[in-house]
Structure 1
Amino acid sequence: MNFKRLILPATIMLVALAGCATGKQDNDTSLPESHTTDASNQPFFKAVRKVGFEDAGRFIMVEGSQCTEQANGPEPATMLITHDMPAYVNNGTVILNGWDLRYLHSDHEVRTLRADITHSKLVTGGGGPPVLVFEVAGELSDQNWDDPYEFCVYYTGLGFNSAWINARIEGDYNGISTQALQIHSEGPIATLESLWDSGTLKGHDSMVVIPRGFDFQYDNQFECEFRFPPCRWNDPADHHLRQVAYSLFQTDASPNPDGNPHWVTQTIFKDSGTRTHWVRTRAALIGGESVKLRASFLPLNPRSGRTSICRNGTDGIVHTETFRIYDLPYDYAVPMLTGWNLDYECDHQHVQRAGIWIHDIRFDPDSNGLEYKLSSILRDKNGAPGFNASHRISVLGFNRSSIPPVVVDDRPAPDIQIRLRKQHLNP
C-alpha cells in the first residue's frame, strides 16, 4: 500500500475534527519566517504566511512559502501545507506561483527537476474556520539520488463567498496531469495538449487554467561514470543544465463552444544539446460567470551550444524586480506565473541552485492595479557565468455577481402598539 497517498485525506479529517475545538485565527498575522523541528524525527522547514488583499465577507487572496530538506533517495521532498481562511469562504483553491531548489553541498548534474502541487482541498465544517489544505512535492536529484537538497514552494491561495462570486473549481483535488516523452529527434521544445471532459463546466462558462506544477526527468540511457558500484545499462541518467522553461498557453477565458476545456503547455529541459526526457504538467480549472482572464504567453527560445557573450564576473545571486499592472477591469485580480525561463548565459553548467517565484503581491481596488515582485536564481557553485531569466504573468480576474445576495433580516419584528383616539364631532 502506498501510505503517502493517505497523507492528505487523513490530514483533512484531522483538520475538520480539530476545528471543533479551535476558534477562528487572525489571518492578518504572519507566522514566524522560520521554524525548526526536532531533527531526529522531523524534517526542517520554514514558512511564511500573509494576506495580500481582502474584501471582508466576499474575497481574500493570501500568499505564502514553505521549505523543507530531503537527505537522499529517489523519493521527492513532500510537504503538507494548511492555510486558515475566514469564515465566509466556502470556495477556494491554490496556485503554484514559484519554486526554489538547491543542493545543500556543492553543485551537481541534474536528473530530475520538479515542483508540484499534487493535491488540494478547501476543508469546511467541523465548527472551525475553513482551511485550505494542499500537498506539495519537489525534487532536485542527480543520477544516484545521494545528494541532499532544499525545496521551497511559493503559492497564492484564494477564497471567496459563492453568494457574491459565481465560480467553481474543477480537478482541484488531484489536479489535471498530462505526461509526454520528448524524443531528442523531436527537438528541445515539448508541447503537451490537455483536455478536460470529466467535470461540470459547461460550454457557456468562462474558464481559466490554474498552473499547479511540472516534473522534468531525463530518460534512462547508458551513461557510465567513474564510480562504485559500476554502471549498468538502465541506470538513471543525469546531465548538465543549460536551460529550463515552462509556458502555459490559453488565449482567453471565453466560453468553450464544445464544453470541453483544452489548453497547451510548452517546456524546455536541456543541456547544450537535446536529450530524450519525460515531461509532466499539472493544472486545475476555475470557471463560471464571474471568472475573467488577462492572458499572456511566453514564447520559448531554445539555447544551444556555447555563445561568445559571457559575463566573467560572479553573478550567483537572487535577482528581484518589481512589476505593476494598471487599469484591470476586475473587482479582484490574482497574478499567476504561467510562463518562465531560466538559462545559463554562455554554456551548460552544473547546478547548485535554481528557482523563480513571485511574491509580495498587492491588489489596489481603488486603481484596479496589481503589483508583485519576481525573484530568480540559476547558479553553479561559483556563480559564474551569469544567467538570464524571463517570465509572463496571466491575471485571474473576478467580477462580483450582478445580482447581490439577498440579506435576510431574521431579527424579531418590533412590538408596535397602535392606540386609537376617539374624536367627538360637534353637531
Structure 2
Amino acid sequence: MIRHTLMLLALGMLLLLVACASKTQEKKPADSATGSKIATPFEQLSLKSSGKTVFEDAGKFILIEGSKCMQRENGAEVATILQWIEMPGYVDSGTVVLNGWDLRYLQSEQEVNSMRADITHSKLVRNTGSAMLMFEVQGKLDDQNRNDAYEFCVFYSAFGYHSAWFDATVEGDYSGIDTSTLQNKNQGAVATLENTGSKGTLKGNDAIAIMPRGFDFQFDDTFECELRFPPCKWADRADYRLLQAAYSLSQTGISPNSDGSPHWVTQTIFKDNTIRTHRIKTRTALIRGSSVKLRPDFLALNPRTANTGNCRKNADGIVRTQTFRINDLPYDYAVPMLTGWDLSYECENQLVQRAGIWIHDIRFDPNASSMEYKVSSILRDQDGAPSFNAAHRITVLGLNRILPPAQRRAPEINIKIRGN
C-alpha cells in the first residue's frame, strides 16, 4: 500500500518536473551497446535508481552514489534523465550533488557549440514510513548543425538525514540557484559569476555550504559560414575545436556576510586556441545550519594558450583513473563535492569525441576521520592523440549531530528563597 502511494506521488512530482523540462516530443533511439530503447520520462519514473550506499548510520544519515546514461539521436534534443532513489523511512531531509559528467559523440569526432550537465530539479517526497529523492538532470553535446548522436552520463551523490539529529536546512533545492552571463571575448578567458543570497538568510550560529548542481557552456551565435544547404545566416550557431573547459566553485569559508547573506563565486573557462564570446549558466543549492561544516578547496583556473611548437603527440585515448585520500575530517558525516575541474588538450585545440570528469567509489570512515575516492577523466578526439591534462578539487561538506529533542534537557533553574 505504501509503495503504491509513493508511485502516485511520483507521478504527481513528474508533472512538476516535466513542466519545466523541454516540451518537444521525446524520441527513442536505440542504445548502441544493447539495442534497447531509451525510456521516456514517464517510463524512467517507474524504475528505481540503482544507486550504491556509500555509508549509513541507521536512523540518522545515509550517503548514496550513482550514475545514469542516456543517448540522443541529435544535438537538437536535450538528454533529460529523471531519477528516483528510495531512501530509508527515517529520512525527512536530503538532496543531491552533481559529482561528475561524461559526454561523447556516438559516431565521430566533431567541433563543439555547447556542453551541458545540469541537475535542474530535486525534491524529497515523503509518505508514512517511506521516502524517495527525485531529481531531473539535463545534458547536451552538440556542434553547429546539431545532427550528431551523442551520449550523456551524469554522476551524483545523494544524501539524506533525520532532521531531529541535525540543525541543517537545504535551501534552493527544487530549482536550484542559477546564474548566467555572456562572457565577451574582450573580457578574457576566465568568466566570473558572483552570487549573493538574500539578506538575513543566515542567523545566529548558522554556517553554510554551497553544493554544485550544474553548468551550461555555449559559444555565442556569430557569422561562421560553412559549405552546406541551406546557406548560413549571420546569427547561425558557431562551433569550434576545443582546447580547454574548466569550472571552479569557490567558497572561502562557512560564515555569512555581516548582513546574514551567503556569498560564493564560480569561475569558468570554455575556449579553443583563441578567446571566443560565449554564454555560461551555472546552478547551485545550499545547506545551512549549526550542524554544517566545510573543508573548502579552491582550483585556480589558468587559461591555456595555443601550442608553441613543443608538443608531444603521444596517444592517450582511454579513461584515466586515480585514487585520492582525505584525512583529518573531524565530522560525524562527510559528503565529497566536485567543486573544481579542468580539462585541456596537451597541445592545441582539437575536435572532440569524448569529454568528462567524475568522482566515484567513495569510502568514508568516521572512526579514522578519513575519506577515499576515485576520480576518472577523459578528453580525446577520434584517434586519442594528443593526450590531455586534468585537474580537480574536492570540497567536503561535513555534518555534525546534535542531541535529538528527547535527550535535550532544559537548563536547570535554581531559585533561592532568602528569609527575612
Is TM (by shorter chain) over 0.5?
yes
Aligned to 2:111: 109
Q: Distance in 2 between matches of 1:300 and 1:324?
A: 23
Q: Distance in 1 between matches of 2:14 and 2:133?
A: 10
Q: Distance in 2 between matches of 1:393 and 1:92?
A: 20
Q: Which amino acid aligns with 1:367?
A: A
Aligned to 1:51: 53
Aligned to 1:170: 171
Aligned to 2:404: 404
Q: Deviation per CA, 1:321-343, whole angstroms, max 9, x where unpaired?
A: 00001121111111000000000
Q: Distance in 2 between matches of 1:10 and 1:87?
A: 15
Query: How do 1:1-150 and structure 2 match up within 5 A?
Result: 11=10, 13=12, 39=37, 42=40, 48-125=50-127, 127=128, 129-150=130-151
Using the TM superposition, give the Cα deviation of residue 255 of structure 1 relative to its aligned residue in structure 2, in angstroms.
3.9
Using the TM superposition, give the Cα deviation of residue 149 of structure 1 relative to its aligned residue in structure 2, in angstroms.
0.3
Using the TM superposition, give the Cα deviation of residue 72 of structure 1 relative to its aligned residue in structure 2, in angstroms.
1.4
Q: Which amino acid aligns with 2:63?
A: M
Aligned to 1:249: 250
Q: Distance in 2 between matches of 1:72 and 1:321?
A: 32
Q: Distance in 2 between matches of 1:88 and 1:307?
A: 59
Aligned to 2:352: 351
* Runs of at least 5 residues in structure 2 that lack an aligned partner in the other structure: 1-7, 16-31, 409-420
Aligned to 2:268: 267
Aligned to 1:424: none
SS at match of 1:185: helix
Aligned residues: 381
What is the TM-score with the length of structure 1 in the denominator?
0.85
Q: Which amino acid aligns with 1:350?
A: L
Q: Could you tell me the percent identity over the aligned residues?
A: 60
Q: Which amino acid aligns with 2:37?
A: A
* Runs of at least 5 residues in structure 1 that lack an aligned partner in the other structure: 1-8, 17-33, 409-427
Q: Distance in 2 between matches of 1:217 and 1:328?
A: 38
Using the TM superposition, give the Cα deviation of residue 112 of structure 1 relative to its aligned residue in structure 2, in angstroms.
0.5
Aligned to 1:383: 384
User: Structure 1's 98 and 162: CA in aligned 2 closer, same or farther, altered over 3 A?
Assistant: same
Using the TM superposition, give the Cα deviation of residue 58 of structure 1 relative to its aligned residue in structure 2, in angstroms.
0.4
Q: Distance in 1 between matches of 2:302 and 2:319?
A: 23
Using the TM superposition, give the Cα deviation of residue 158 of structure 1 relative to its aligned residue in structure 2, in angstroms.
0.5
Q: Distance in 1 between matches of 2:159 and 2:198?
A: 24
Aligned to 1:420: none
**Alpha-carbon contact 2:75-2:140 (below 8 Å) kept:** no
**Alpha-carbon contact 1:100-1:153 (below 8 Å) kept:** yes
Aligned to 2:418: none
Query: How do 1:197-212 and structure 2 match up within 5 A?
Result: 197=198, 200-202=201-203, 204-212=205-213
Using the TM superposition, give the Cα deviation of residue 74 of structure 1 relative to its aligned residue in structure 2, in angstroms.
2.4
SS at match of 2:186: helix
Using the TM superposition, give the Cα deviation of residue 13 of structure 1 relative to its aligned residue in structure 2, in angstroms.
2.2
Q: Deviation per CA, 1:381-404, whole angstroms, max 9, x where unpaired?
A: 000000000000000001111x33
SS at match of 1:13: helix
**Alpha-carbon contact 1:48-1:66 (below 8 Å) kept:** no
What is the TM-score with the length of structure 2 in the denominator?
0.86
**Alpha-carbon contact 1:203-1:258 (below 8 Å) kept:** no
User: Structure 1's 264 and 185: CA in aligned 2 closer, same or farther, altered over 3 A?
Assistant: same
**Alpha-carbon contact 2:200-2:260 (below 8 Å) kept:** no
Q: Distance in 2 between matches of 1:365 and 1:190?
A: 38
Q: Deviation per CA, 1:117-164, whole angstroms, max 9, x where unpaired?
A: 000011112x46210100000000000110010000000001001111
Aligned to 2:298: 297
Q: Which amino acid aligns with 1:259?
A: G
Q: Which amino acid aligns with 1:334?
A: V
Q: Distance in 1 between matches of 2:286 and 2:99?
A: 15
SS at match of 1:130: strand
Q: Distance in 1 between matches of 2:284 and 2:39?
A: 33
Q: Which amino acid aligns with 2:362?
A: I
Q: Which moved further from structure 2: 183-192 or 198-207?
A: 198-207
Q: Distance in 1 between matches of 2:225 and 2:63?
A: 49
SS at match of 2:12: helix
Q: Which amino acid aligns with 2:406?
A: V
Q: Which amino acid aligns with 2:246?
A: A
User: Structure 1's 129 and 35: CA in aligned 2 closer, same or farther, altered over 3 A?
Assistant: farther
Using the TM superposition, give the Cα deviation of residue 406 of structure 1 relative to its aligned residue in structure 2, in angstroms.
1.1
Query: How do 1:178-217 and structure 2 match up within 5 A?
Result: 178-197=179-198, 200-202=201-203, 204-217=205-218
SS at match of 1:233: coil
**Alpha-carbon contact 1:333-1:395 (below 8 Å) kept:** yes
Q: Which amino acid aligns with 1:373?
A: K
Aligned to 1:333: 334
Q: Distance in 2 between matches of 1:225 and 1:109?
A: 13
Using the TM superposition, give the Cα deviation of residue 316 of structure 1 relative to its aligned residue in structure 2, in angstroms.
0.7
SS at match of 1:82: strand
Q: Deviation per CA, 1:321-371, whole angstroms, max 9, x where unpaired?
A: 000011211111110000000000010000000000000001001101001
Q: Which amino acid aligns with 2:312?
A: R
Q: Distance in 1 between matches of 2:10 and 2:50?
A: 20
Q: Distance in 2 between matches of 1:284 and 1:261?
A: 11
**Alpha-carbon contact 1:242-1:344 (below 8 Å) kept:** yes
Q: Distance in 2 between matches of 1:229 and 1:294?
A: 54
Using the TM superposition, give the Cα deviation of residue 89 of structure 1 relative to its aligned residue in structure 2, in angstroms.
0.4
Q: Distance in 1 between matches of 2:309 and 2:56?
A: 50
Q: Distance in 1 between matches of 2:199 and 2:55?
A: 33
Using the TM superposition, give the Cα deviation of residue 11 of structure 1 relative to its aligned residue in structure 2, in angstroms.
3.9
Q: Which amino acid aligns with 1:13?
A: G
Q: Distance in 2 between matches of 1:380 and 1:80?
A: 30
**Alpha-carbon contact 1:204-1:257 (below 8 Å) kept:** no
When the two chains are superposed, the root-mean-square deviation of aligned CA atoms in Å is 2.4
Aligned to 1:22: none
Aligned to 2:152: 151
